[in-house]
Amino acid sequence: MITNQPLHRREVVKCLLAETKDLLVVSGLGSATYDCAAAGDNEKNFYLWGAMGGSVPLALGLAIAQPNKPVLVITGDGDLLMGLGALTTVGAQAPKNLAIVVLDNEIYGETGAQPTATAKGTDLNAIARACSLKVIDDVFNLGKVKELSQTLYLGKGPIFANIKVEQETPPKILPSTDGVFLKNRFRDAVLS
């Protein structure tokens, strides 16, 4: 019997961001931001430094403010668990242009690899489903990630995908940490 194996996070993010077109990307703190930067810095990426639990609420506001542009949030399980209540608001608002991808390695990678609740059985897919999000189950290969990347532009959200990834620490690829620069660059890209 073949078991499902976690994917490599950098390969997942590279696949998701291979064709960004007009995609607006919000990345959670730490590894998700490093992964997005490693896939290629883009003025339509908003790197959310130091706001644990804030990536989904920020992406929700962006999706509501820009209903004609696809919005993708890429974050980790720790960040999502910190702001879990935001999923209820996403479900209630139901923005068709929002997709949430969680890179779930079952640890808090930025603070010493302590296990998260997902390592102890918390089912993020079940929570998202209970919040009325469209859940994409069983993403265990890059082919499914590619399929997911193509759905980002179809306006069939809110979409939720919890992708199990390896507990690994690839080299940090740091984009700018200048919040004013990032805000202005992102705003200009969104409004142009």
Residue 3 belongs to a domain: no
**Mean pLDDT in residue range 63-84:** 96
Residue from 4, 60, 55 nearest 32 by CA = 55
Torsion sign across C-alpha atoms 86, 89, 152, 49: negative
Residue 2 belongs to a domain: no
Identity at 192, one-letter amino acid code: S
Q: Which domain holds residue 20?
A: 9-191
**Mean pLDDT in residue range 139-168:** 91
Q: Collapsing DSSP states into helix, strand and coil, what is residue 154?
A: coil
Element (H, E) at 45: strand 45-47
Query: What's the pLDDT score for residue 3?
Result: 60
Q: Which residue has the tokens 């603070």?
A: 111
Highest mean pLDDT among 111-120, 156-165, 169-178: 156-165
Residue 178 belongs to a domain: yes
92-154-13 Cα angle (round to 5): 90
Digit-coded pLDDT (tens) for 82-100: 999 999 999 999 999 999 9
Residue 55 belongs to a domain: yes
CA 180/CA 138 separation, integer angstroms: 38
Q: Are 185 and 43 in contact (CB under 8 A)?
A: yes
Residue 146 belongs to a domain: yes
Q: Are 9 and 105 in contact (CB under 8 A)?
A: yes
Q: Which domain CATH number covers 165? A: 3.40.50.970
Assess whether pLDDT exceeds 80 at residue 176. yes
Residue 4 belongs to a domain: no
**Distance in angstroms between the alpha carbons of the first and the last residue of the chain:** 52
Assess whether pLDDT exceeds 50 at residue 162. yes
What's the domain count of the chain? 1
Assess whether pLDDT exceeds 50 at residue 57. yes
Residue 81 belongs to a domain: yes
